[in-house]
Structure 1
Amino acid sequence: MLDSFKTLLIIMMRAGSARAIIVVGSVGLTIFLGRSTGAEGLGQFSILQSIIMGAGIIATCGTDLAILKFASGDKETRSKSILIYALKVVAIPLVLIVVVLGIMSEAIYAFFNFSFSTSAWLIFTVAITSYVVLNITSSFLKARTFAFRGSIAEPAIIPIVALVCCITGYYASDFLSLDFIVKSYLAASALALFFSLFSICYSFGKGGLVELNRTEKKAFKHSAQHFFVYNIMGLSQSVGLILIVAAALPPADMGVFKAVERIVVLANVVIMMLNSFIPPKIAHAYQQKDYTKIQHLVDFSCMAGVICFLPVFLICVMFPEAVLSIFGEGFEGGASVLVFMVSAQMFNVATGPMLYLLNMTGHQMIATLILSFVTVVILPAAYYFSHILGLQGAAYSMAALYTVPKLILVFICLRKVKVFPFIGMFKRVLGS
C-alpha cells in the first residue's frame, strides 16, 4: 500500500521541524565565528570540526546505516538488541581512534597552525565519543520511525547548543574568542550525548531484549562492513576534501570557502530531513518487493527536495554578495563561488536519494565502487586545482563531488532497481 503524499509530507514536516533547529545552529555558529574571529578563525574551527567528523565516521564502522537497514520494520525487542550490539561493536575502534589522535595532537596542532589552547585529549575524547553515540542512536530512532527525535539526536544538533553557549558568553563579556567557541562546542557535545542517551531510554519503553543469534550478528557485521567502506568513501569526499583544500589554500581563503560551504550545506539539511524517514521506508518496501512504492518514495523525495531548497537557491543566485555579507567583512569575494556551488547542489537535491536507494536494496558494493572511483579521481585533482586556481578551484572540486557521482548513480539505479527520479510522477500525470 502506497503512503499518500499527504502522509509523507506530515512525516517530513515533523523531521523538518528538527532540521530547522539544526540549520539555525549550524549557520548561526558559522556567522558568529566569521564576525568574531574573522575568516582565519572560521577556517581553523572548520578544520577541527572536519577532524572530529572524520574520526567519528571511522569509529562508527558503518553500524549507523546497518541499523537503518536491520531495525526498520522489525519487532521492538529485536531492534533494541541490534542497537546494543552496535554500541558494543564500536567501543574498541572508538577508544583506539581517540588514543591515536591524542598522541598525534601536537603534530596536528602544528600542521594546521591552530591558535586555540584547549586540550586536544579533551576535545577528541568528548567530541568524537559524542559523534559516534549520536550517529548510532539517531539511526535507531529513525529506523523505529521516530523522525523528529531521530533528527534531534544527530551530531548536527551540537552547533545549536554551542551557539546558545556562545551567545551567552558574548553578552556576558562582550568578547568571543576562538578558545571560548571551542570550549562551547565541547560543552555542547557533552550535553547532546546526554540528550541522545535519554532519548533512547525514553523510546525503549517496556519489554526485554532478544539475544541475537550468530547468523544475525554475522549478517549485521557483514552489512556494516559494506557500509563502512561506503562511509569511508563519503568521508574522503567530504572531510577529505576540506582537509585537502585547507592544505592548499591560505587560512583566510579557507574561511571564505567554509562560509560558502555552510550556505550550500542548507541543501544537505533538506536531504538529511528526507533521509530521516525515506531510507527505512525504501528498505521495508524492498523486503516486500514493492517497486512501485519505492518509485513513489523517490518521486516524493525529489519533488519535496526541490521545493524546499528552491528559495535558498534563488536568493543565493540573485543576491550572492548580500548573503555572504552576513558573515562579516572579507567574505564577499566568494560570490561567484557561491553561485556555482549552489547550482551544483540543486542538481544533487533534484536527483533524489540514489545512494541510499542502492544501499537499502542490497547493492552496497556497487555504491562503494562508484564512490571509490570518484574519490580516486577527484581528490588529487582537488589539491591541484585549489593550489593553481585558489578558491575557484576548490569550488570546482566541490561541485564535481556533488554532480559526477549522482549522474552515475541515477543510471545505475535505473538499470538495477528500475527507478528513475520523477518518472513515476510523470506516468501518473500522463495516465490521468
Structure 2
Amino acid sequence: MTASNFWKALKGETGGALIRTFIAKGVSAFGSLGLVVVMGQLYGPSGVGVYALAQGLLLGAGILARRGMDNALIRFVGRDYQSPQVRDYLYLAARRSLVVSLPLGVAVCLMRGHIEAFFAMPGLANVLLGIGLAIPFYTWSLILAGFFKGVRKPATAGLQENGAISLVAAGLLLLSGAYFPAEEQEIGHIGWVYLIAAAVIAAKGQVVIWLWLARSGAAYWQVIEPEAQHDFRAASRSFFIIGIAVFIQSVLSILIAGKLLSAGELGLFKSAQQIAISVAFVLMVINAIFPPRFASLFHEGKMEALGHTVRRAALLGLVLSSPFMLVCLLVPEWVLGLLGDGFAPAANLLRILALAQLVNVATGSVGFLLNMTGYDRIMRSIALLCNSLGLLGFILLPQWLGALGAALALAFVLVAQNLVAMIMVWMKLGIWTLPGPNVLAWLGVKPRIR
C-alpha cells in the first residue's frame, strides 16, 4: 500500500465523521486539563490535590457501577444496532448500573467525613458531598457513551465522557468566579459544579437517546431472551476484569498517593499527569479511527498491509504529538505556569510523564492491535501484570521520593505495558509497530505466527 493509497483510504473511510470524532476526542482530552487549569488558578496545588483524590473516588465508583456494561453494549448493540432489542440491552445496563451507583453515591456522601480524616486532607469532605451525588449521573453518562459507540455514533459518545463533564464544570467554575470574589470561592464548589455538569451531560445524552430510539423504530420494548441476557452479563464480567487494570492505574494509584502525599504534592503530580496526557491526545484520535481497519485487514489475511497501516499510524501519532512533547520537555515551567503560582516544582514530573507518554504514542496502537486480532487475553494479562507492579511502585516510591516517586511509578506502567505489548505483537503477528528499525529482528528474535 503506497502512501497516497493509504491517505486516500483513510479519507474515504472517515469523511466528515473523522472531523467530528477528532473534535469530540479533543473535548474529552482537553476538558479534564481545562478543569485542572481553572482549579489551579483558583485553589493552587492543594486544591488540585483535593480534587484529584475526589475524582479518583468518582472514577472508582463509576468502574464498579458499570461493571464493564458500557463495553458490552458496544458488542451486543453493535452487532445489529437497528434491532428493536437494542433498547432492552440499554434498559438492562441501566437497571444493573443504578442498583450499584445509587448506593455508592449515598455511601460516599455519608462517609465523606471519615474519608477526609483517613486521608488527612482538609476540604475533601465538602468536595465529596457533590461528587457523591454526581456518581449516578456520571455512571449513566458513560453507559450512554457505550451505547452510542454501538450505534455508530463515536463523536456523540465522546461528548458523553468524563472530558465533556469536566469542560462544563470548568465553565461553571469560571462563571461562578465572575459573581463571587476569589476569597469566597470555597473548595467545596468543585463538587457542586461537577454535580451540575454531570447532570447536564447525562440529561443531554438521555434526550439524544430518546430521539434516536424514536427515529430508529426501537421505541418499544422487546424483551431479550434469558440466554441473551446471560451472555450480556458474562461479557460485562469479562470486560470488567479487563477494566481492573484501568482501576489500578487510575484509581488505586491516586488513592495510595493521596494517603502518602500531602494535598500540595498530590496536586503537583495530578497537574503534571493531566498535562502529559496532551502528548497522547493524538493516539486517542488514532485509536478511534484505525482499530476497525486492523480487524478488517487481519480478517482478510492481508498481514503485509496490516503492518504498513500500523506503522504509518504510529508515525502519524509520533509526528503530530512531537510539538506537545517538546514544549513539555523544554519549557515545563511555562506550561505549568498556566495553572497559576506554585506549580513550578512539578517541572521534572512533567518531563518524566511526557517521555512516558511519548513511548505510549511511538509504540502505536499495540493494545488495540492485540485485541482486534484475537489476542485480547494476552493484552489483558500484560495490563494486569504491569499495573500490579506499578501499584507496588506507588506504595513504595512516594514514601522515599514524594511526588517524584508517584510520577516514576506511573511512567513505569505506561512504558512497560506498551513495550511488552509491542514485543508480543512482533512475536504473535510478525508486525513491528515502531516507525524505525526492527531491533528485535536485529537481535535474532523471530515471530511465532500461528
What's the TM-score once normalised by structure 2's chain length? 0.85
Structure 2 contact 31–166 (Cα < 8 Å) conserved:
yes
When the two chains are superposed, the root-mean-square deviation of aligned CA atoms in Å is 2.9
Partner of 2:278: 266
Letter in 2 for 1:132: T
Evaluate the alpha carbon distance shift between residue 268 and residue 196 of structure 1 in structure 2; reply closer, same or farther with a 3 A threshold: farther
Equivalenced residue count is 425
Give the C-alpha shift of residue 304 in structure 1.
3.5
Give the C-alpha shift of residue 190 in structure 1.
0.8
Matched, 1:342 2:351: no
Partner of 1:94: 101
Partner of 2:72: 66
Matches within 5 A, 1:228-307: 228-279=240-291, 282=294, 295=307, 298-299=310-311, 301-307=313-319
Q: Secondary structure at the match of 1:329?
A: coil
Letter in 1 for 2:91: I
Matched, 1:218 2:230: yes
Partner of 1:123: 131
Give the C-alpha shift of residue 81 in structure 1.
4.0
Evaluate the alpha carbon distance shift between residue 344 and residue 223 of structure 1 in structure 2; reply closer, same or farther with a 3 A threshold: same
What's the TM-score once normalised by structure 1's chain length? 0.88
Evaluate the alpha carbon distance shift between residue 355 and residue 407 of structure 1 in structure 2; reply closer, same or farther with a 3 A threshold: same
Q: Secondary structure at the match of 2:152?
A: coil
Matches within 5 A, 1:198-217: 198-204=207-213, 205-208=215-218, 211-217=223-229
Higher alpha-carbon deviation: 318-327 or 90-99: 90-99
CA distance in 2, matches of 1:35, 1:294: 46
Q: Deviations over 1:26-64 (max 9, x none)?
A: 222211211211111110011101110111011111112
Matched, 1:187 2:192: no
CA distance in 2, matches of 1:92, 1:23: 30
Evaluate the alpha carbon distance shift between residue 14 and residue 330 of structure 1 in structure 2; reply closer, same or farther with a 3 A threshold: same
Q: Deviations over 1:380-405 (max 9, x none)?
A: 22221111012221121111011101
Evaluate the alpha carbon distance shift between residue 356 and residue 101 of structure 1 in structure 2; reply closer, same or farther with a 3 A threshold: farther
1:164 paired residue among 163, 171, 175? 171
Structure 2 contact 349–404 (Cα < 8 Å) conserved:
yes
Structure 1 contact 5–300 (Cα < 8 Å) conserved:
no
Letter in 2 for 1:229: I
Evaluate the alpha carbon distance shift between residue 63 and residue 297 of structure 1 in structure 2; reply closer, same or farther with a 3 A threshold: farther
Structure 1 contact 165–184 (Cα < 8 Å) conserved:
yes
Partner of 2:42: 36
% identical aligned pairs: 26
Q: Deviations over 1:67-114 (max 9, x none)?
A: 233333534225444333332332323234334434433211222324
Evaluate the alpha carbon distance shift between residue 193 and residue 256 of structure 1 in structure 2; reply closer, same or farther with a 3 A threshold: same
CA distance in 2, matches of 1:290, 1:141: 30
Evaluate the alpha carbon distance shift between residue 216 and residue 304 of structure 1 in structure 2; reply closer, same or farther with a 3 A threshold: farther
Partner of 1:173: 180
Partner of 2:448: none
Evaluate the alpha carbon distance shift between residue 415 and residue 159 of structure 1 in structure 2; reply closer, same or farther with a 3 A threshold: same
CA distance in 1, matches of 2:110, 2:375: 38
In structure 1, runs of 5+ residues without a counterpart are 427-432
Give the C-alpha shift of residue 266 in structure 1.
1.5
Partner of 1:326: 338
Evaluate the alpha carbon distance shift between residue 226 and residue 290 of structure 1 in structure 2; reply closer, same or farther with a 3 A threshold: farther
CA distance in 2, matches of 1:90, 1:286: 35
CA distance in 2, matches of 1:425, 1:69: 36
Partner of 1:51: 57
CA distance in 2, matches of 1:227, 1:119: 30
In structure 2, runs of 5+ residues without a counterpart are 439-450
Partner of 2:9: 4
Matched, 1:401 2:413: yes
